[in-house]
Each structure stands twice: as structure tokens, then as C-alpha cells.
Amino acid sequence: MSESNFTTRFLKVFGINNQGHKRRDPLNVWVPLISVGLALIVGMIVIAASGRNPFRAYALLFGDSGLIPGGAAWRREFAELLIKSAMYIATGLSVALAFKGGLFNIGAEGQFWVGAIVATFFGYWTPVAHTFGAMYVALGTFGWIAQLLHGAICIIMGMLAGGAWAAVAGYLYVKRGVNIVIGTIMLNWIAWFLITSWLVTGPMTPPSQTFTSGTFYVADTAKLLRIMMPTRLNTSILLVLLAAYATWFLLYKTTVGYEIRAIGYTANIGMEAPRAQGINISRRILQLMFFSGALAALGGSFFILGLQYQFPNTATMGYGWTGIGIALIGQSEPLGVVLAGLFIGALRTGATSMQVANIPKTFSNIIEGMAVGFIALQVAVRYSLVKILQRRRSRTDPPADQEATT
């Protein structure tokens, strides 16, 4: 083996090949897989260290996750898995899209809830609800058209609001130089407190109810259609797959996507190249944040229209944070995000069953957090992988080893 050939191969393992293009690097697949694997092992150790049987716990976790067909409750679990995944994939796509443009949208959480509250509003707001209610009655057998339209309006309004919320952070970044991470964190909490401490307990609560009851319920026409009776599975998973495809198309098949990626590739080095190409960077970043926020808000509208049918007073944060983990595990590629979202959805579904073995359902957070931690450590993971690959090569191919050591 010539030295240049070895160098090329060596660089390739680090994700650098002749084209300077990282997409075909096998380690981009292996790093998240290994991270998740290591996280599962650490999770096992945590369970074992607390004196419980890790194998029984994991059997419960994966047995009831809906991933493995069979069993009496499988259809229900599979439906739950898809319902949960739809929301996580939406926030994951949101974070992933922003990553592609070199932005860390930590605010998917806030955008999710903005989307949720706006979808709730258009779901129950009397003028809209009555119009579609009347339309549903008038259309008779074609009533599903009214359902489709009302649902679409709720989702679109939610997405517009979520996008606008994210665009505020984009505006502050572009025009005022506010760090996008800080800006989106602050907007997260502003959205959260405005919604949970004011809207949900005040203006949007039915007057006859106590303040603990959450908002009005959305009209029947606004609810997402169920596609697999008798389970709760609704159209959200189909919509989110469509959104994933649209994200992929936007990123890899359109000029805007190309420009977004160009900005992302050069984000750490001043974005000179795209600027020289005549790309309007400020505008693209604003658009990117808008798309990103809209995707997170899509997840929020699923939360309301597919699951809760009102904004409950008991909502807890976490969808956006999970989205960050999913985007990282999915390496910011739409397909990867879908797979990672399904995996996390499965973990969350199965984790409720682990309560039988006295393990709280937040256990899946430990796995997620560990996986994200190992991805943060990816330089170390890559380094040790390369070491292992080299050692194996030296065992099977002594001359190459000689060359490597000299």
C-alpha cells in the first residue's frame, strides 16, 4: 500500500475524503449507533447498580415499545409509538434543519408550544369552529372535507405562529447580533410562561371551569382523523413523514437549501464563501429560522389536535429538548431524524411499562441524555474507532502496520 493511499484512507475514516464532502463517511452512521449502544449499556449499569435486573427491565422496555410485532397489546403499542414519534420527529426536524444552516435552534421547545396554543385557538375559536361545523353538516357524506380543511387551518396557523416565533430569534441574531442559542433559550421561557401562566389559566379557559382545567376543547372537525381503529393512531405520522420529505427536498433539491447548506458549512469561518457568491445571508437565516420554527410548531399542533384536544394545564416541557437529541442522533439528516425519532418514540412507549419493574418512566431521558453526551464526545468516539480499526488492520495486514508506524 502506498503512503498516499493510506493517508487517503486514514483521512476518510475521520470524515474527510477527496471531495471534502462528509456525507459518504461510514462513521457518520457508526457514531450515532455506537453512542446509542453505549448509552443503553450505561443505562443497564444504572439499573444493575440500583439492585434491579437490567435484563428484565430491558425486556419490558423493548417488549412493550411497539417495535417488535406480536403480543396482545402490540397494535396499541405500535400506535402509541407512532403518535409519540410524530411529535418528536417534528421537533427533531426543526433542530436538524437549523443545524444544516449552522444554527443551534435550542428553542424548538418554545416554538412547539406556540404552535400548540395557536392550533388550540383556531380549533375552538367560535367563528372558525362554527363555520366548519355548519360545513360538516351541509356536506353530509363529504363531511371529511370540512374536517380536512379545519385541521389544515389549525396546523397552518400554528406553523405560521411557530415560524414567526423562531424568526424573532433569527431577527435578533441577524440585525442585533444576539447569539442564537441565548436568544432561543430566552424565547423558550417567554413562550412557556406566557402560555402556561397566562393564556391557559386566563383568557383561554372556559368561564365556568376552575383554573386547573386547561383551555376550551377543540371542535370535532379540528381533530386529526384516526387511521387505525380502535387505536388512537392518527394522521400525524403521515404528515410528519411528508414534512421530513419536504425538508429533504428543501435541503438537497432547491436553491434555497443549497444556500442554507453553504451557510452552514462555512458558519464557523465567517461565511465568506456564500457571501462572495452573492447569497443574502441575513435573509436566508431568517427564512431558515422560520422553516425551523414551523416544523417544531407542527409537532405542537399534533400534540393538541391528535392527542389532547385542548391545551392541558398539566403539560410539561421536554419535546423540544428531545428534538435536539433526535437531531444529533440522526446526524441532522431527515432520514436519520425519522429513524432516531422512531427509536426515541419506542423508548418512551416502552418506558411506561418499566414502571412494573419499579423504574420511573423518565428512564428514557437517561438513555437520551447519555446518547447526546456520547455524541458530544464524538471526537473521542471517532478517535477510539480509528484506533480499533488500525489495530485490526495491523493484525490482518502486517506490512500496512509497518508503514503506519514508520
Residues at the site binding another protein, with contacts judged by CB under 8 A:
46, 50, 104, 106, 172, 176, 178-179, 181-183, 185-190, 193-199, 201-202, 318, 321-322, 324-325, 328, 358-360, 362-370, 372-373, 375-380
Residue number, 148 or 181, with CB nearest to another protein: 181
Return the closest-CA partner of residue 91 out of 347, 380, 341, 314: 341
Residue 225: CA atoms inside 13 Å, Cβ hemisphere, count? 13
At its nearest, how many Å lie between another protein and the CB of residue 120? 16
At its nearest, how many Å lie between another protein and the CB of residue 102? 12
At its nearest, how many Å lie between another protein and the CB of residue 194? 5
C-alpha 317/C-alpha 192 separation (Å) is 8
C-alpha 209/C-alpha 103 separation (Å) is 42
Return the closest-CA partner of residue 110 out of 155, 156, 168: 168
Residue number, 144 or 189, with CB nearest to another protein: 189
Residue number, 47 or 153, with CB nearest to another protein: 47
C-alpha 123/C-alpha 224 separation (Å) is 11
At its nearest, how many Å lie between another protein and the CB of residue 233? 27
Distance of CA 213 to the CA centre of its chain: 29
How far, CA to CA in Å, does 175 sit from each of 168, 170, 178, 281, 335? 10, 8, 8, 11, 33
List the grid coordinates of 5.
Answer: 493511499
The amino acid that residue 53 corresponds to is N
Phi, psi of 226 (to 5 degrees): -90, 135
How far, CA to CA in Å, does 341 sit from each of 45, 171, 175, 328? 24, 29, 34, 11
At its nearest, how many Å lie between another protein and the CB of residue 247? 21
Residue number, 146 or 372, with CB nearest to another protein: 372
At its nearest, how many Å lie between another protein and the CB of residue 71? 26
Distance of CA 380 to the CA centre of its chain: 25
At its nearest, how many Å lie between another protein and the CB of residue 80? 19
- Write down the residue that cell numbers 471534502 correspond to: 20
Residue number, 68 or 194, with CB nearest to another protein: 194
Residue number, 183 or 334, with CB nearest to another protein: 183
DSSP 71: S
Q: Is 12 exposed, middle or buried (0-12, 13-18, 19+ CB in 10 A)?
A: middle
Residue number, 71 or 206, with CB nearest to another protein: 206
At its nearest, how many Å lie between another protein and the CB of residue 325? 6
C-alpha 99/C-alpha 105 separation (Å) is 7
If you compute the radius of gyration of the chain from its CA atoms, what whole number of angstroms results? Answer: 24
Cβ atoms of residues 170 and 111 within 8 Å: no
Residue number, 239 or 372, with CB nearest to another protein: 372
CB proximity list for 351: less than 8 A, separation 6 or greater? 61, 359, 361, 362, 363, 364
Residue number, 124 or 321, with CB nearest to another protein: 321
Residue number, 307 or 377, with CB nearest to another protein: 377
Helices 281-302 + 319-329 axis angle, to 10: 120
